[in-house]
Structure 1
Amino acid sequence: MTKKPTVYIETYGCQMNVADSELMYGKLVAHGYEPVDAPDGADVILVNTCAIRENAETRVIGRLGELRRYMKPDTIVGVTGCMAQRLGPRVLEQARHVSLVVGPDGYRALPALLDGARRGEKFTATDFDLEEHYEDVVARRFEGVKAWIPVQRGCDYRCTYCIVPFTRGPERSRKLDDVVREVQQVVEQGLSEVVLLGQTVNSYTDGTHDFADLLRAVGAVDGIRRVRYTSPHPNDFSDRVIDAMASVATVCEHIHLPMQSGSTSMLKRMLRRYSREEYLDCVARMRAAIPGLSLTTDIIVGFPGETDAEFEDTLSLCQEVRFDDAFMFKFSPREGTPATRMPADWTIPDDVMAARFDRLVKTVRGISRENNLKRLGDTVEVLIEKLARDGELWQARSRDFKTVMVPADAGKIGDYLRVQLTGTTGATFTGTPVADAAAGRRERKPLPMAV
């Protein structure tokens, strides 16, 4: 019996990259490849990359050098994803042992490209394909308890700091029926939680259906228990979408709502297309409709021209909204974006940026701790996702996206439990099982549809 060639994919960056790695595995498995969990001795090593910040690319270049020690004489190394799209053939120049550079729309060609690489050829495949949604590719899911479902690719917003429109292309959405069909397949695979993915996911439209329609259709699939999505844009939360979130019981009570800055003048320089007041109005409308809503966000510190007053606006907005958590970043200029063409004297000194970042982290984490302390004693539904780092507890997740550690004898990966929140580190909880999971779903009264 001929031994199957092995493939190892190392993934960096966002959930969309995780979903793309699952697609690549699916495509290659269908062509006779066998996935492996480590690079050592693999016939094919693919590094699926991120380009959102400079340190992500620097890390990948370093990692490509490290991977040399795992290579056999005939091992093929490829770079895929957003960094591949951005740098193209420059990757081949910086890492001579790399044979393939493939952007997000080129994964369908991977088997043929690998065949060519075995003949000693090198390839760069970075053309955009605005029709490509990989509908006929069956993803090989490795998350365990949830399925990442891309519903939209690319982005039509042009935030001045963001590289995504250059690496993912213009926005395009899948047909609703195709998404629902994939969700039904996910249920057949034994999964009950889905995460709908898009660069501005709530701007989804297939020409007939909008994101509200999609939430209702996915949430109604028999066997689906939790529906999440990321990342939305504050501008695209119509009343229809908020009504769907509030009335579809399977949609979880958590929204990751990128803020980036709390200053209207800063948001204008970022070309975010909303003001501080409009962001707060969006938050207020969602909280009025969805009791117990958990909010997380993204925040950038040190964007060109950021004044002390603008930074204070960001801190005050965090205090007003009281986010449950945030991804916080120091500004990283990306080649080709408008932010790199702003006046040089707008550049924020490193020491100022670092001091502001520290203040932001302390503010956000302090608020998160206060929020979590108020939750002690609550009873919530959790889904066991994986073994905790200590190897002695399960790591689980509540509907509102809280991380909860539960005893190892409480169940197994994929189980739903009802637990009482009995302790917190400030960031995570410990939970004690109290009842069966059937009581954990919160019923919601349907709201009138907006037109």
Structure 2
Amino acid sequence: MSDRAPNAAHPRVYLETYGCQMNVADSQTVSAVLRRAGYVTADGVEDADVVLLNTCAIREHAEEKVLHRLRELARLKNSRPEVKIGLLGCMAQHNRGAIMEKAAFLDVVAGPDSYRRLPEMIGSAGFDPSIDVRLDRAETYADITPDYGGGVRAYVTAMRGCDKFCAFCVVPYTRGRERSIPPADLMREVGELAARGVKEVVLLGQTVNAYRFGETDFGALLKMIATINGIERIRFTSPHPSDTTESLIEAMATESKVMPQLHLPIQSGSDRILAAMERGYTVTEYLDLVARVRSAIPGVAISTDIIVGFHGEEDSDFEATTAIMREVGYDSAFMFKYSVREHTRAFRLGDSVSEEDKGRRLIALIALQEEMSLARNRAMIGREFAVLVEGAARRGRGMVSGKTPQFKTAIFAGAEGVRAGDTVNVRVDSATGHSLMCSIA
């Protein structure tokens, strides 16, 4: 039992983040809310008066990681009962009842729309936990400037929630319905980032290209952001094929600051499975979209998401997925085994594909994508690209790394005076499936 009392003047908070870039952005908002309330950042759980886990509920594996971490924190709570421990985000929203059964020691449980109340919730938590998981269709946190870390790239939430209700997805239930941030607030936030030296912004949203505020659609928003001095590159994630409008394609084709990189989740190459997933498009419509994008934006890099083993998927459906992968020729892909999520539309269907078959299919997909990524990267050998330098490379003394406009990692020997934030023209000398080895052009 520790006899150290919390620092009442400046309580220390340690925040861990699990999941996607949306969660990272949310944690930066949480940090700003708590900083305004007088909290300071702790170096680790041992030094903290408050420990918060910001969680993800998209896949079962993400929840398992958090549950394992909670078991570790239970030991901390036993040795230091005065420490407040909180669960935030999608997992808190999605499965709070089961979580409280497994982690009854939690002091705070807050959903994605409750972060403004965190100082009050932490302060009021006592014998009973403080819980607020209400969804709020008006909450956007537009007036709160997140606490960004350093670096040349920053992630900016452009919209929250989702209206798609894909059969496999919990997002509409954990993050609520779509709400777009007013353009004026986004312009202010990005302008502040530019003043701090940020060179690249990534606009975020579960279906970010569904953005609409009044007459401003997503294509118009991209052009507005491009007028901000100091911002050199603009990216966005994650768009939905059904919302990839001509306005968006035209903005990418004509605005030089919008990078030639598009994440376009397909999820499955089978029309039957796409219909069961309630994705809202067919394979033919998807391929037509890819053709229009590549026609308008030469050299665009396209990445995707794929789920294997959705309910009812047969070998023929899986073969259709591998066929569309070959036809499109993705630069990269995020590939996952389907996991049944409670509260989704597909939950009642259960799980018809064995873990063995899911694993076999996933291994085959990864091998195929590795092959295609290597081929596409090798096709860049001899070409020149403008690379935004991010800093020292992880390996190789004197080497630096950065991103090409297509968001490929470029590694090269840094010349004297080259530093993070510089844009350097390089020539590709060799390639792996994951990076380009370059020299200064």
TM over 0.5: yes
Report the Cα distance in structure 1 between the residues aligned to 2:26 and 2:88, rounded to whole angstroms. Answer: 9
Q: CA deviation at 1:183?
A: 1.0
Report the Cα distance in structure 1 between the residues aligned to 2:201 and 2:246, rounded to whole angstroms. Answer: 23
Q: CA deviation at 1:408?
A: 5.4
> SS of 1:124's equivalent?
strand
Which residue matches 1:405? 411
Which residue matches 1:76? 84
1:140 equivalent among 137, 143, 147: 147
> SS of 1:432's equivalent?
strand
1:116 equivalent among 108, 114, 124: 124
Cα RMSD after superposing both structures: 1.8
> SS of 1:384's equivalent?
strand
1:215-250 CA distances to partner (integer Å, 9 max, x unpaired)? 110111111101000111111111111111111110
Alignment of 1:421 with 2:440, yes or no, is: no
Q: CA deviation at 1:395?
A: 3.2
Identity of aligned residues (%): 42
Amino acid at match of 1:287: R
Report the Cα distance in structure 2 between the residues aligned to 1:68 and 1:422, rounded to whole angstroms. Answer: 51
Alignment of 1:215 with 2:261, yes or no, is: no
1:381 equivalent among 361, 382, 386: 386
Which residue matches 2:245? 238
In 2, are the aligned partners of 1:151 and 1:201 still within 8 Å (CA)?
A: yes
> SS of 1:147's equivalent?
strand
1:95 equivalent among 75, 81, 103: 103
Report the Cα distance in structure 1 between the residues aligned to 2:346 and 2:150, rounded to whole angstroms. Answer: 35
**CA 1:187–1:374: 2 relative to 1, 3 Å:** same
**CA 1:10–1:406: 2 relative to 1, 3 Å:** farther
In 1, are the aligned partners of 2:140 and 2:179 still within 8 Å (CA)?
A: no
Alignment of 1:394 with 2:396, yes or no, is: no
Alignment of 1:199 with 2:222, yes or no, is: no
Which residue matches 2:374? 369
Report the Cα distance in structure 2 between the residues aligned to 1:256 and 1:370, rounded to whole angstroms. Answer: 19
Report the Cα distance in structure 1 between the residues aligned to 2:393 and 2:73, rounded to whole angstroms. Answer: 27
> SS of 2:346's equivalent?
helix
**1:208-287 matches, cutoff 5 A:** 208-287=215-294
Which shifted more, 186-195 or 270-279? Answer: 186-195
Which residue matches 2:4? none
* Structure 2 unmatched runs, 5+: 1-6
Alignment of 1:65 with 2:71, yes or no, is: yes
Which residue matches 1:310? 317
Report the Cα distance in structure 2 between the residues aligned to 1:225 and 1:378, rounded to whole angstroms. Answer: 21
TM-score, structure 1 normalization = 0.91
In 2, are the aligned partners of 1:80 and 1:104 still within 8 Å (CA)?
A: yes
Amino acid at match of 1:34: V
Report the Cα distance in structure 1 between the residues aligned to 2:430 and 2:104, rounded to whole angstroms. Answer: 51
Report the Cα distance in structure 2 between the residues aligned to 1:171 and 1:159, rounded to whole angstroms. Answer: 14
1:145-195 CA distances to partner (integer Å, 9 max, x unpaired)? 212111111111111101111101111111112211111111122212111
> SS of 2:229's equivalent?
coil
Q: CA deviation at 1:253?
A: 0.6
In 1, are the aligned partners of 2:270 and 2:283 still within 8 Å (CA)?
A: yes
TM-score, structure 2 normalization = 0.94
Report the Cα distance in structure 1 between the residues aligned to 2:438 and 2:75, rounded to whole angstroms. Answer: 43
> SS of 1:91's equivalent?
helix
Amino acid at match of 1:262: G
Amino acid at match of 1:216: K
Which shifted more, 270-279 or 41-50? Answer: 41-50
> SS of 1:375's equivalent?
coil
Which shifted more, 269-278 or 145-154? Answer: 145-154
Which residue matches 2:27? 21
> SS of 2:45's equivalent?
coil
1:256-301 CA distances to partner (integer Å, 9 max, x unpaired)? 1111011111111110010000000111111111111000000000
In 2, are the aligned partners of 1:232 and 1:256 still within 8 Å (CA)?
A: yes
Amino acid at match of 2:56: C
Report the Cα distance in structure 2 between the residues aligned to 1:299 and 1:145, rounded to whole angstroms. Answer: 30
Amino acid at match of 1:107: Y
Report the Cα distance in structure 1 between the residues aligned to 2:438 and 2:105, rounded to whole angstroms. Answer: 48
Report the Cα distance in structure 2 between the residues aligned to 1:429 and 1:350, rounded to whole angstroms. Answer: 35
Q: CA deviation at 1:39?
A: 2.4
**CA 1:32–1:387: 2 relative to 1, 3 Å:** farther
Which residue matches 1:45? 51
Report the Cα distance in structure 1 between the residues aligned to 2:76 and 2:430, rounded to whole angstroms. Answer: 43
**CA 1:323–1:347: 2 relative to 1, 3 Å:** same
**CA 1:153–1:214: 2 relative to 1, 3 Å:** same
In 2, are the aligned partners of 1:159 and 1:270 still within 8 Å (CA)?
A: yes
In 2, are the aligned partners of 1:105 and 1:132 still within 8 Å (CA)?
A: yes
